[in-house]
Amino acid sequence: MTNIGKDIALAAELIKQGKLVAIPTETVYGLGADAFNPVAVARIFEEKKRPSFDPLIVHIADIAMLDKLFEHPISDKVYSLAKAFMPGALTIVHRKNASVPDIVTSGLSSVAVRMPSHPMAREVIRLSGTSVAAPSANLFGHLSPTKASHVAKQGMHVDYILDGGDADFGIESTVVSVHHDSVTLLRPGAISIEELREVVPEIKTISEVNETEMESPGLLKSHYSPRKPLFILTGEEKMLPQNAGLIAVSPNSIDLKTSQMLYLSDKGDLLQLASNLFSALHTMEENELVSEIYVQAVPETGIGVAIMDRLRKAAFQYL
């Protein structure tokens, strides 16, 4: 049994010692280790069963830490994004400093960096005295954890799970890359493209750049999957199979009924929907009466873009 608790100082001490600690963030829980300790980072890949070609996000506690992670000179675009969205749910990919171990970046010449806004995350990073490499704290390809118990159920060997309650956003950070002065959206996430455009009006989306030019291993088509088949409802369905679990937008959003039903929001608010999505999928995954999961589609505006991105990836193998 992995030890779960709220002891920030212990979590920081374990990170210093090269151990693995699950940390709460406002997006999802991360599986953290000292980013400058390659052996500790190797354990993240091993426990997550993550392919070594998929690089990690490095978490920092203050903007000054960008200095040690990015190569100099750091683009002004990085600083304007950092000023607007750090701390917060934005991850910035930029040329890496030579001191960042290759295992963190899977050998890429860039590194992904994020400063979480969750106070416990920031405090544990600050006390550890280092930067913390952390992917989402789930087995590779599976549902991201939005509660400490979701981390525990993965069965990974984690030295400590720091319990910071339910994740506020419940969906991963938005990942952008800054290459020279050009900014590209690599992964939709908790910060919407509309919010990004207020700071970087010229931001490109991945479809606008040549795929060979921009490699983001996290853009795998199948990902974030529960251990049961998942289908996105088209709106045409008249009835569902007996063993269906239904995840709906809100109580008044759908006429279909099944005995195993969950609502993601009271009235369709997208932020509330996002914060409950992974948790609802975990609940359906654990529910023995459910063998197939059906999810109602949401409007693709704001954080709805990230919600539908995750659902399509979770459903991919069943399309």
Give the nearest distance from C-beta 31 to ligand TXA in angstroms.
8
Cα angle, residue 23 at apex, residues 287 and 68 outer, rounded to 5°: 145
**Residue 120 to residues 7, 42, 168, 308, Cα–Cα distance (Å):** 10, 24, 13, 29
Nearer to ligand TXA, 125 or 290 (CB): 125
Contacted entry of ligand TXA, Mg ion, none for residue 114, CB cut-off 5 to 8 Å set by kind: ligand TXA
Q: Yes or no: say if 56 and 137 are a contact pair by the CB < 8 Å rule.
A: no
Contacted entry of Mg ion, ligand TXA, none for residue 187, CB cut-off 5 to 8 Å set by kind: ligand TXA
Nearer to ligand TXA, 112 or 264 (CB): 112
**Residue 69 to residues 114, 165, 217, 282, 314, Cα–Cα distance (Å):** 11, 29, 20, 34, 32
**Residue 123 to residues 3, 11, 31, Cα–Cα distance (Å):** 19, 10, 16
Among 92, 112, 124, 152, indicate the residue that binds ligand TXA (CB under 6 A): 112
Does residue 150 touch ligand TXA according to CB under 6 A? no
Does residue 172 touch ligand TXA according to CB under 6 A? yes
Give the nearest distance from C-beta 231 to ligand TXA in angstroms.
24
Q: Which of residues 9-48 bind ligand TXA (CB under 6 A)?
A: 25, 27-28, 30
**Residue 130 to residues 15, 16, 105, 227, 290, Cα–Cα distance (Å):** 9, 8, 17, 35, 43
Among 19, 44, 47, 55, indicate the residue that binds ligand TXA (CB under 6 A): 55
Closest CA to 248 of 264, 228, 267: 264
* Strand ranges for the chain from DSSP E: 4-5, 21-23, 30-34, 57-59, 90-95, 110-114, 132-133, 160-162, 174-179, 182-187, 204-205, 230-232, 244-248, 260-263, 292-295
Q: What is the CA radius of gyration of the chain?
A: 19
Q: Which of residues 210-229 bind ligand TXA (CB under 6 A)?
A: 216-218
To 10 degrees, what angle do helices 8-16 and 119-128 make? 40
Among 100, 186, 303, 314, indicate the residue that binds ligand TXA (CB under 6 A): 186
Q: 10 Å Cβ neighbour count for 302?
A: 17
Nearer to Mg ion, 136 or 225 (CB): 136
Question: In the complex, which residue's CB is closest to ligand TXA?
Answer: 218
Does residue 75 touch ligand TXA according to CB under 6 A? no
The contact set with Mg ion (CB under 5 A) reads: 136
Nearer to ligand TXA, 168 or 269 (CB): 168
Nearer to Mg ion, 186 or 240 (CB): 186
Among 91, 154, 265, 296, indicate the residue that binds ligand TXA (CB under 6 A): 91
Nearer to ligand TXA, 109 or 301 (CB): 109
Q: Summarize as ranges the residues that interact with ligand TXA (CB under 6 A).
A: 25, 27-28, 30, 54-57, 91, 93, 105, 108, 110-112, 114, 134-136, 172-173, 175, 186-187, 216-218
